[in-house]
Every structure is written in structure tokens, then in C-alpha cells.
Amino acid sequence: MSAVGIIGLGDMGTGMAERLLAAGHEVYGWNRTRAKALRLAAKGLRPLDSPREVAQAAELVITMVTDNAALQAVCDGPGGILAGLCEGKVFAEMSTTAPALVRALAQRVAETGASLLDAPVSGSILTLRDGKLLIMVGGDRAAFEQAEPILLAIGPKVRLVGGVGQAKALKIGINLSLAVQMLAFSEGVLLAERMGVDRRVAFETFLSSVIASPMLQYRAPFALDPPDYPWFPCGMMQKDMDLALQLGRELGVPLPTTAATQEALTTTRALGYGDEDFAVVFHGLARMSGMERS
């Protein structure tokens, strides 16, 4: 495969397109806001007028969109991806969406003669740019082997984990852990701060201790020194927590810390922090504790 189509050119989709172009692939693209696709044209991306045209032009079609509704919007209708698929093509759905939705979509893709791979990613914009992204793939092994060389240009860790829907379950499980860890970290720091420990001293101490996971080491500092652009806004994290809670109900798995963290994120957004990186849950909890943002 050499011709790749990317539908959804937000931060992650743009980063993927840039890596594929740098690796020498022919890349076609579509985005609801056309200006984002046009910005990449200078780097070699070929903007097209509909998801259908992208699917027709590419051997591997990638979607990296916001949520379930956005995925359905780019797949359905006369201008949608399904209308452009045919025998031999592979469709890699790389967004964070519901396992049930992607399984139903896989059946519809199979009716066109193409194959669907459930291929969400674990990592951030920085991870993608540094070439350290993990791609979890669920689906048919033959389709996986077709797509694997291209996926390796996006990230060096590409792992076939099972069937369609199972990669999405792994992704959702990883993301709920991100938010739960951040909330637990915030509780511990604020407890120490209320006892008179300087906030920055508490952060540095916690992040030098055994509880300092790789995620906390790079994300917890965002609570003190926010990035210029939020990597993972509160609203997006809440969408993923909703997916986790829905999946838990479907499978009969209780998710008590996920539910509590979701409520903390709701409070944080209500306090006006919704557009910031989800590390700002620290300040939502601080406000509830009567401590000011510093």
C-alpha cells in the first residue's frame, strides 16, 4: 500500500498525515473545516471534496474524528466513506469510539468487499510527533498485515490485540485510567497543601515517589504550568469517560472510580475550566476545597 487517505485533520490527524508524507506515502485528505486540509497541501497532502473521494483514491482509509456522531457522519450518505469502498481496500478506524458502533460498522464495510480495522492509538500530540505512538489493532490478520507497514510510519508500536471492538475496549480502559490517576494525584497533593506544604514542593515530591507513573510525570505539571494549547481538553476526556461507563454497563463491570472522576470533571467544567487540558481537574478540586488557583 502507498496511497493513504485521512479523514479528520485535527491535531492527531494532521500529525499522522505529516508522518506519512515524510515517509514518502501519497496522502489524500478531507476535513469538515477545509482550511485544515489546505494547510497541509503545501506539504504534499492532496485535499479532496468528500470522504467518498478519499476512500476511492486511497488503498488504506484512516478516520481520526471526534466521536460516534462524527464517525457516522463521515461514513454514511452518498458522499460518505462506505460509498467509496470496494474490494481490497482497508479502512482503519483510529478514533476513540464505542466498540458496538465499530463492530456494526465492520459488518457494513465487509458488504462493500473492504475490511475494517479497529485501530485506536495511545499517546499524545507530542508522542505522535516524537514517533512513539502505540497503535492497538483489532480485526482480520490479513487486513492487518496489509496495513501494518503504513501504520508503522505513524507509530513504531503496532500491535494486533484481537477482534474488532477489542482494541477500542483497550483504548477506553487506558483513557479512563489517565483521568482517574490525575484525580487521585490531585487529592493527595491538596491534602498535603492543606497541611501547609507548598504546592510546588508537594508536586515535586509526589512526582519523585513510587506513585509517579509516566503519565503523571508529563501531565501533572500541566496543572501548575498549562500548555499554550490543551492536549486533551476536559470535554474530550468526559466523552471517553462516558464511553467507559456505557461499556461497563453493557459488560456488567462496575467502574466506581471512573464514575467519581466523571463527576469531578463535570464540576471542573461547571467552574469554567472546560476548555483546558484535563489536568485542570486539580483546580476544580482545589476550588471545592477552598483553595485558590496559583
Please list the active-site residues: 171
How many Å apart are CA 169 and CA 200, to the nearest integer? 36
How many Å apart are CA 30 and CA 242, to the nearest integer? 27
How many Å apart are CA 119 and CA 158, to the nearest integer? 9
Residue ranges with strand state E in 90-177: 90-93, 115-118, 121-122, 134-138, 157-162
How many Å apart are CA 126 and CA 228, to the nearest integer? 13
How many Å apart are CA 126 and CA 56, to the nearest integer? 31
* DSSP state letters, 77-108: STTSGGGG--TT-EEEE-S---HHHHHHHHHH
